[in-house]
Amino acid sequence: MSLLAGFDFVSEISNATLLALIKSNMTIGGVQVNPPFEVTVPFAGASAHMIVDDLTLDLNDDDTMSLNFAFSQSSVTVQAPVPRVICPLAGNMSVRIPLTLVPSGGNTQQVSANMGAATVTLSMPQSEQTITNALAGTNITSAQFQTMALQGVTDFVRSVPNVSFPLSFNVVPNVNGSIAPLQFSSLQVHCIGNSNRSLQALGLFGNLLASTQNNGNHTEKTSTAIQAGRDAAVSFSPGAFHSLIFCPAVGTALGMGVGSLPPSCGGSTGGVSVNGIKLMSISDSFGNGQININGSVKDSGFCYDASGTFSGNIKLSVNGNALTPSISMDEPDVTIDIPFLCYLAAGVVLGPIGVATLFVIDHVADDIADKIAGTALNKALGGGVIGAVGLSALSGSASFASLSITPEGLTLQGNIKVSVKNSSFKKSLLLKGSTTTSSENIASSGKWHTQIWCKPAKDYPYTEILQNQVATYDVTSQLMATPLSVSYTLRSITSPVAIPLTGTSGAVDIPDVTCTYAAPLSTGGAKVTQSVHLEYQLNGTALQLRNRPEDGNFAVYLEATVRDCTGAVVTGGSSVSPKAWVYFDGNAVVIGGGYEADYQECAAQMKELGDKIKNKYKPEDLYVEPWVPINFPPEYRVYEQIRVLKAMGVREAQEMILHSRLAHGSGFTRAFHAPADVRTGRETRASQEVDSYRITETEIRSQLVMLTNQLLQMQRGLVSKSSERAPNKRSR
Amino acid sequence: MSSRNDQPDRRPAPAGAERRLEIGSYDELIRNEPEILRRIKAMPNGGALFLINPFLLFEDIGVVLSDTAKREVLTAEPRLAGLSAIPYRALKTSRSRQNYRVNVRGLFERRSL
């Protein structure tokens, strides 16, 4: 096999790395192709819902890539000539896409998948019977259906915009390119195929010089240079290395341009001075495991003329994440002409020529290592990859693994960490919705005389309102075999008896529901257990519930039984939870006269007081919530506030409980009617915040114990404060 | 460097070696320079041995200097006084290829005594 197939430069990316790039960069129908995922494919007279479980990639010899989508639990809904749902479907869809380089602005060319030229094959052998059964009674045969489905997904795939990979390169024909920045005179992209996916690679075959622009035949490269466990390989030809790395390195070492160097780099046949001797020639070649350097020197003095040759080699080793050169240098081979016994000649033999030549090779070695490590690999996979995945040759996501040198070329092996996030899809079924007020009527109004503890007593105007509300709920699913069918039940919090909602509309009475009312204001409201009346309407899977305002404020438990397209009831873990608490606020009160502002002010003062006491005993407490701003706080925060105020045990705090009920309004009633897990925050904190903050349930419990102890301390402190303030309060 | 007497060594050259070339003075040495250079060139590492110790080399290539000739050479090339036989013998007996060669195109710088 050929390493470089006659090209100056070949960059190879493994199948696995390219697949990771595809998963992180490619979308179909707005969905990232990172399994598991689902996508809806519309086509004439039908639509397909496809759940993709797995994606594999093949890089083919004809410079196409095949994306193989393994799907299951999928369905096709046919509208005409006879409505039918064909489900569940499973199989494999293979999309074969030509890979090309396309201009992407300026001199940049980018690797692109030409979706418009994609061909699709669809294979569903295990679904033959399902298709036949579903189409029974129609004049559509299974073969016709599969042809239609194939045409549909083909049209859909071809409508997807071309996929541009973050592999972009600078290509300027007819001029010599460079390593830094990487610029080609010509570039081709080809696949290096193999029946074993782990031996497949995407190859970028480039020439860097104007003189080599038309060189190379990619078919001569029949296998990838990427070693097992590596993600990428970058190879340079000896010629490219000579022109773009070695000679510039010699120029850097000698402080002059390449053209001014002696052969084989430049045209200065008279040699150039290096530390008092003349470097007449210098050349490089690749050996096995090393870069060979040969050269010739001349020197002359008062009584001698010396000429010599030198040879050495540079070995490059990967040391940690750096490329370290080591040099081996033979003694120069020198011939000295002396016109007579000349002691100066002995001085030449014994040192300076060797020193000067070693100086050159030493500098050249360092520069070569820098160029290869710092520039060549860094840019070898294109600037786009670097930007996309944070690739840096010596740090970050890419790292050197090994370097090999043979007479055919120099090859760097590397590992690239492409960040592919976990799929955003997971098998889930949730019941989601909200309650809105459709209309309201004033039930009563008046003035309420009260005092919030930090303010003088005053009259606050109030209005009692009856609210007609509509709760709208629907199931949302991921990775389910659609279409889904749903049936709903309702029950009270305390009753195990679920009442089914039959038909598409109707009304039900739910017995034994705890309801609350805003009045009387001075007690913070009233509580009644009664039957509540709800009207319902079903539209597909969506449900609307309407309350009767005089039933007050309450919550009922809504549960859905969901069946997939096969009629099987959908079950699963915690992510399959089609149930919800539905809240209605039929009765509300609006208190004016600056009541909310007064409440906030007193609550803030109480918080400040509580904090002073709390800090005296313990500087930290996460869950002391004597003041919760009125902005629809989560139920558990309201509940915690009430708990703390109650635990304070002083009158001011207890008064604040009443005012909290009124000030928070529906926020308070929802907290009051919420299930225990919601009120304690277990549901919210355990499933969301705990996940975020990694607080274990045990830690929460221990903090609540701490809180209780602190509350006792606070109570003692607040009572003491309250006693000190008592004369002032009485006088007011 | 010292010599045991003022007369050239008259012993015959070893079998297969160059005939002995007896040199009585510096001028006579210069007059025989072409022949001596030829002998130096023919001697393995001859140029390098010449730089290390010309007197021992002369002996080895059959050039026999009288004490007068030696004295006159030392007068012309005072730095020849610090020579040693040890590096000379080391190079002479070495079987290794040397990485430098010295082409001697003249024996001593021309100067008046």
| Residue-wise pLDDT tens digits, A362-411 | 777 777 777 766 554 555 554 433 323 323 322 335 666 788 999 999 99
Structure tokens at A337: 């002409």
Give the pLDDT confidence score for residue A74 in this predicted structure. Answer: 95
Nearest CA in chain B to A347: B51
pLDDT range class, residue A618, cuts 50, 70, 90: very low
Tell me whether residues A340 and B100 touch, CB distance under 8 A.
no
Tell me whether residues B110 and A345 touch, CB distance under 8 A.
no
Residue pair B20/B83 in contact (Cβ under 8 Å)? The answer is no
Of A308, A332, A337, the CB nearest to B103: A337
In the predicted model, is pLDDT for residue A58 greater than 90? yes
Give the pLDDT confidence score for residue A12 in this predicted structure. Answer: 92
Give the pLDDT confidence score for residue A190 in this predicted structure. Answer: 97
- Across the strands, what pairs with A293? A284, A312
Give the pLDDT confidence score for residue A181 in this predicted structure. Answer: 77
Q: Judge if the upstream peptide bond of residue B78 is cis by omega within 30 degrees of 0.
A: no
Residue closest to A10 by CA, chosen among A192, A249, A193: A192
Residue pair B97/A361 in contact (Cβ under 8 Å)? The answer is no
Largest CA distance in chain A: 130
Task: Name the least confident of A132-136, A373-377, A653-657, B6-10.
Answer: B6-10
Nearest CA in chain A to B54: A341
Distance CA A540, CA A425 (A): 24
Distance CA B35, CA A466 (A): 135
DSSP state of A301: E
Residue pair A698/A690 in contact (Cβ under 8 Å)? The answer is no
In the predicted model, is pLDDT for residue A486 greater than 50? yes
Distance CA A570, CA A563 (A): 5
Distance CA A85, CA A338 (A): 102
Residue closest to A475 by CA, chosen among A556, A386, A388, A570: A570
Tell me whether residues A338 and B51 touch, CB distance under 8 A.
yes
Give the pLDDT confidence score for residue A62 in this predicted structure. Answer: 96
% chain A with pLDDT above 90: 37
pLDDT range class, residue A473, cuts 50, 70, 90: very high
Strands (DSSP E) found in A398-457: 398-406, 409-416, 428-450
Of B54, B102, B107, the CB nearest to A336: B102
Distance CA A588, CA A599 (A): 18
Number of Cβ within a 10 Å radius of residue A70: 16
Three-state secondary-structure class, residue B32: coil
Residue closest to A386 by CA, chosen among A65, A101, A109, A165: A165
Three-state secondary-structure class, residue A70: strand
pLDDT winner (highest mean) among A364-368, A532-536, A649-653: A532-536
Tell me whether residues B99 and A346 touch, CB distance under 8 A.
no
Give the pLDDT confidence score for residue A349 in this predicted structure. Answer: 64
Tell me whether residues B101 and A331 touch, CB distance under 8 A.
no
Of A340, A345, A346, the CB nearest to B106: A340
Tell which of A309, A333, A341, A353 to mutate to test the B interface (max B CBs under 10 Å): A341
Nearest CA in chain A to B48: A346
Residues of A in contact with B50 (CB under 8 A): 341
In the predicted model, is pLDDT for residue A245 greater than 90? no
Distance CA A475, CA A577 (A): 10
In sequence order, the 6+-apart residues with CB closer than 8 A to the CB of A118 are A95, A96, A97, A98, A154, A157, A158
This prediction has a pTM of 0.70
pLDDT range class, residue A572, cuts 50, 70, 90: low
Residue A337: which H helix or E strand, with range? strand A333-338
Give the pLDDT confidence score for residue A345 in this predicted structure. Answer: 74
Residues of B in contact with A336 (CB under 8 A): 47, 100-103
Distance CA A680, CA A689 (A): 13
Give the pLDDT confidence score for residue A254 in this predicted structure. Answer: 84
Distance CA B6, CA B69 (A): 9
Residue A732, CA distances (Å) to A91, A455, A457, A650 in order: 82, 10, 10, 19
Structure tokens at A322: 């750096």
Phi-psi region of A99 (alpha: psi -120 to 50; beta: other; left: phi over 0): beta
**Contacts across the A-B interface (CB distance below 8 Å):** 59
In the predicted model, is pLDDT for residue A655 greater than 70? no
Quote the ipTM score. 0.84
In the predicted model, is pLDDT for residue A255 greater than 60? yes
H-type helices in B1-113, by residue range? 26-31, 33-42, 46-52, 54-60, 67-76, 85-93
pLDDT range class, residue A644, cuts 50, 70, 90: low
d(CA B103, nearest CA chain A) in Å: 5
State chain A's mean pLDDT as an integer: 80
Give the pLDDT confidence score for residue A397 in this predicted structure. Answer: 57
Structure tokens at B2: 């010292």
Give the pLDDT confidence score for residue A516 in this predicted structure. Answer: 83
Distance CA A413, CA A224 (A): 11
Give the pLDDT confidence score for residue B83 in this predicted structure. Answer: 78
Using CB atoms within 10 A of its CB, is residue A535 exposed (0-12), middle (13-18) or buried (19+)?
Answer: middle
Give the pLDDT confidence score for residue B65 in this predicted structure. Answer: 95
d(CA B21, nearest CA chain A) in Å: 20
pLDDT tens, position by position, A16-31: 999 998 898 888 888 9
